[in-house]
């Protein structure tokens, strides 16, 4: 009896303990679900995905006397949202054109350095110049006018996600049904977890021996993508389960689906993530979601499983097959008629080009996105929306894009062998435009067609610079050599790793000796190598490293001719130092970042340093100006370039690369032309890159002042004899010429060839030679 009582006690104790355990576990689960509900509510109520970061161009400054490009100016006004009216502008955003007069009621201007309400102005143009700017409300003449920044892009969060938010009411039934057919057909019949779906997926996967179906509901996907890490552990799966159940209690089904449709990842455009069906609808089809057809809706729904794998821009056939899987699933659920299904199954997938998608300056935006993470710590870059003011000038960007497109088409028209039928193998080009003294990147075109290739040839490519590298060789010798010093133009052989290397000139040069200025201007290879060998190749390498070149450069003679690859952006930056008194700028794409409350965020330190003296930079600019007036870049004078320019062409062996980098005190532009696979462009830099540069610069007259660099301290001018390089003797030296020198290396002796004593000695020596021959 006692024994039996003892068993009952044990069982009662076990039962009570089990109940207590279940109660504790249940309470723990409820407490955890409450904790999750707070977390979910905080995340969703903050509406992170509804607070975009806005990216703006730089402001546009106008003033009387400024040269402008009327076509780009009017396009700028259209891009800023000004609309033409027949009457005098009465409201902000209105514009009227009467002959050469533009009347415009400005929008409000808000930027880090300025803020004011919009007002009406009258701008009178005359011969591609601004003649006057007058306020229409009070008749006051304005010495300067600032146009508001242009909105370039919206993106979201640290991952730079792009979205166009939609409400569930905006989503057409065919899109909702397509998403449900692809991801969760029982969405409106379960409570966050679909046991039937899990069992069905398990059976299908076991039957095929591979993972063919997933059992996750839309609610589970939202929990996993929004709150959890991608790790596959039992604890994470349990969190996902509890979070899904909690969401279903907190929100209506349509709310969950709306969040999902705005959140889901659907591809990439360069470094920017495409999230949500609203943005994806424009990205792939160029239309709002309300206009999507059955086939287009099924295509988007099919991308959810693997956006980059099923992307129509990656593999059209694979995309079509996946779309048809979704369409058949819709048919099984009777969400599409049999007739409509048959027609749609047979139709092709028709997408728009990402260029038609309409995003501005895509290569610049990719560069900006990367620079944000470099200049701002991750903890500062929160999930909330920013206002980002960039250095981009959209007029310069448009001019650069058009100049490159026109220039490459012109080259293909002149030489049919340059044409390639495959878009990804076509002739390529790249342009970067900078302000040398500030380092501001005004425009960046990293390739011919962003929709074909997102590879940025300005920031990511490594190409041989050819003769465009020579200025750094000549700079290395300025402590010992002057622009009038003579270099050997005699053929020589050099041994490199046991092999003989014999440099040759691009075209015959008869002189046995040439001056530094002439050697650089005419891009004479033999003289350049002679200078490099005299200066020392290690010094040339040190100079290049000081200028920020990150690619490996070895002290071989071929270094002098640009045989080692460089990053185009670093080459442009190096030339900026010549135009900025020797200061090497930081290539900057953004001016300021403001948080949601308008506070300016503090950025990390940027590397800006002086690499050479202002005197040396002036000497280099002077010699590079000779390359334009009398050297390899002289064709610029026939391309409406009438103002002073310094620059250098570059051409590599086999014409694989064609370059021109040209600058004034106000602006610098680099142009590269070539094939990605290294095929020949069959033209030197002066024929392939130079005309593109000229078209670009002629299109942005507002950046051309016509000024030249002021001579800094440490530079002197002297009249020298071209034959000897020494001080010219008036009336005796046949070719006297003014030359600039570093003060420490300027000549002090008179020309020994044409001074009276020297001339008498030459006569005596000539007579002696005559008698010897007899």
Residue positions annotated with a catalytic role: 183, 467
Find tokens 């880090």 and name the residue. Answer: 112
In eight-state DSSP terms, residue 597 is: T
Question: In the chain, what is the straight-line distance between the N-terminal and C-terminal CA atoms, in Å?
Answer: 153
Give the residue among 394, 441, 395, 475 at the shortest CA–CA distance from 667. 441
HSE, side-chain direction, 13 A CA sphere, residue 532: 31
96 vs 173: CA distance, rounded Å = 43
Helices (H), 277-393: 277-285, 294-303, 316-332, 338-346, 362-375
DSSP secondary structure string for all residues of 77-146: HHHTT-EE-SSPP-STTEEEEETTEEEEEPPPEEETTEEE---EEEEEEETTEEEEEEETTT--B-S-EE
206 vs 548: CA distance, rounded Å = 58
The 3 state secondary structure assigned to 40-61 is: HHHHHHCCHHHCCEEEECCCEE
Bridge partners, residue 130, by sequence: 125
666 vs 612: CA distance, rounded Å = 19
Angle at 374 between CA 311 and CA 270, to 5 degrees: 15
Distant-in-sequence, close-in-space partners of 420: CB < 8 Å, separation ≥ 6? 426, 427
Beta-carbon count within 10 A of 774 CB: 4
Is residue 660 a contact partner of residue 647, using CB atoms and an 8 Å limit?
yes
Bridge partners, residue 268, by sequence: 273
Tokens of residue 125, six digits = 């143009």
Query: Greatest CA span in the chain, whole angstroms?
Result: 153
236 vs 348: CA distance, rounded Å = 40
88 vs 772: CA distance, rounded Å = 95
Find tokens 């079509």 and name the residue. Answer: 320
553 vs 573: CA distance, rounded Å = 17
Return the SS3 of 434.
strand
Tokens of residue 377, six digits = 């710590």
Is residue 466 a contact partner of residue 652, using CB atoms and an 8 Å limit?
yes
Bridge partners, residue 265, by sequence: 275
HSE, side-chain direction, 13 A CA sphere, residue 136: 20
Is residue 76 a contact partner of residue 68, using CB atoms and an 8 Å limit?
no
Q: Is 129 left (phi over 0), alpha (psi -120 to 50) or beta?
A: beta
Return the SS3 of 529.
helix
């Amino acid at each position: 009896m006692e024994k039996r009582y003892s068993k009952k006690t044990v069982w009662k104790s076990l039962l009570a303990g089990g109940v207590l355990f279940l109660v504790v576990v249940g309470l723990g689960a409820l407490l955890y679900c409450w904790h999750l509900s707070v977390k979910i509510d905080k995340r969703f109520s903050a509406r992170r995905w509804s607070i975009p970061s806005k990216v703006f161009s730089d402001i546009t400054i106008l003033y009387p006397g400024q040269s402008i490009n009327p076509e780009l100016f009017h396009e700028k006004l259209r891009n800023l949202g000004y609309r033409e009216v027949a009457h005098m502008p009465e409201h902000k955003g209105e514009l009227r054109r009467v002959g050469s007069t533009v009347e415009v009621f400005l929008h409000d201007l808000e930027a880090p350095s300025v803020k004011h309400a919009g007002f009406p102005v009258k701008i009178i143009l005359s011969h591609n110049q601004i003649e006057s700017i007058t306020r229409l409300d009070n008749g006051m003449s304005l010495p300067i006018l600032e146009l508001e920044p242009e909105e370039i892009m919206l993106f979201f969060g640290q991952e730079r996600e792009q979205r166009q938010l939609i409400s569930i009411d905006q989503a057409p039934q065919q899109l909702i049904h397509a998403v449900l057919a692809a991801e969760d057909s029982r969405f409106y019949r379960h409570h966050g977890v679909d046991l039937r779906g899990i069992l069905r997926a398990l059976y299908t996967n076991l039957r095929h021996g591979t993972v063919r179906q997933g059992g996750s509901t839309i609610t589970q996907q939202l929990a996993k993508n929004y709150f959890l890490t991608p790790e596959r552990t039992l604890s994470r799966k349990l969190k996902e389960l509890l979070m899904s159940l909690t969401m279903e209690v907190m929100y209506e089904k349509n709310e969950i689906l709306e969040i999902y449709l705005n959140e889901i990842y659907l591809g990439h455009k360069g470094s920017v993530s495409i999230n949500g069906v609203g943005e994806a609808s424009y990205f792939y089809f160029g239309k709002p979601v309300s206009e999507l057809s059955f086939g287009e809706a099924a295509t988007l729904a099919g991308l959810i499983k693997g956006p980059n794998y099923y992307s129509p821009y990656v593999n059209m056939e694979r995309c079509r097959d996946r779309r048809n899987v979704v369409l058949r699933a819709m048919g099984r659920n009777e969400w599409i008629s049999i007739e409509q299904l048959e027609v749609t199954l047979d139709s092709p997938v028709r997408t728009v080009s990402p260029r038609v998608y309409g995003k501005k300056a895509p290569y610049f935006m990719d560069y900006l996105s990367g620079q944000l993470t470099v200049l701002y710590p991750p903890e500062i870059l929160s999930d909330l929306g920013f206002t980002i003011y960039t250095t981009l000038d959209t007029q310069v960007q448009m001019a650069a894009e058009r100049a490159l497109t026109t220039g490459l088409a012109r080259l293909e028209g002149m030489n049919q062998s340059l044409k390639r039928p495959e878009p990804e193998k076509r002739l390529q080009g790249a342009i970067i435009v900078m302000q040398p003294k500030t380092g501001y990147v005004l425009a960046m075109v990293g390739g011919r067609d962003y929709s074909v290739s997102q590879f940025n040839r300005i920031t990511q490519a490594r190409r041989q610079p050819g003769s465009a590298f020579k200025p750094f060789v000549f700079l290395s010798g300025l402590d010992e050599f002057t622009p009038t010093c003579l270099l050997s133009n005699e053929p020589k052989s050099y041994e490199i790793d046991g092999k003989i290397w014999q440099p040759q000139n691009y075209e015959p040069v008869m002189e046995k000796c040439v001056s530094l200025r002439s050697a650089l201007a005419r891009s004479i290879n033999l003289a350049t190598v002679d200078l490099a060998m005299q200066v020392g190749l290690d010094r040339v390498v040190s100079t290049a490293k000081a200028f920020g070149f990150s690619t490996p450069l070895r002290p071989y003679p071929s270094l002098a001719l640009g045989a080692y690859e460089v990053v185009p952006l670093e080459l442009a930056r190096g030339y900026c130092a010549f135009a900025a008194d020797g200061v090497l700028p930081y290539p900057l794409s953004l001016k300021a970042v403001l948080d949601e409350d308008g506070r300016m965020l503090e950025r990390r330190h940027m590397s800006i340093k002086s690499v050479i003296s202002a005197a040396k930079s002036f000497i280099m600019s002077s010699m590079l100006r000779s390359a334009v007036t009398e050297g390899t870049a002289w064709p610029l004078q026939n391309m409406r370039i009438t103002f002073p320019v310094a620059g250098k062409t570059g051409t590599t062996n086999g014409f694989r690369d064609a370059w021109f980098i040209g600058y004034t005190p106000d602006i610098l532009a680099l142009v590269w032309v070539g094939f990605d696979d290294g095929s020949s462009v069959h033209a030197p830099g002066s024929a392939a890159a130079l005309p593109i540069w000229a078209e670009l610069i002629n299109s942005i007259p507002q950046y051309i002042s016509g000024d030249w660099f002021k001579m800094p301290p440490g530079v002197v001018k002297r009249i020298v004899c071209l034959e000897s390089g020494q001080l010219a003797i008036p009336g005796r030296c046949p070719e006297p010429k003014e030359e600039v020198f570093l003060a420490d290396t300027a000549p002090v002796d008179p020309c020994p060839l044409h001074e009276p004593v020297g001339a008498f000695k030459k006569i005596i020596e000539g007579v002696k030679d005559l008698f010897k021959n007899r």
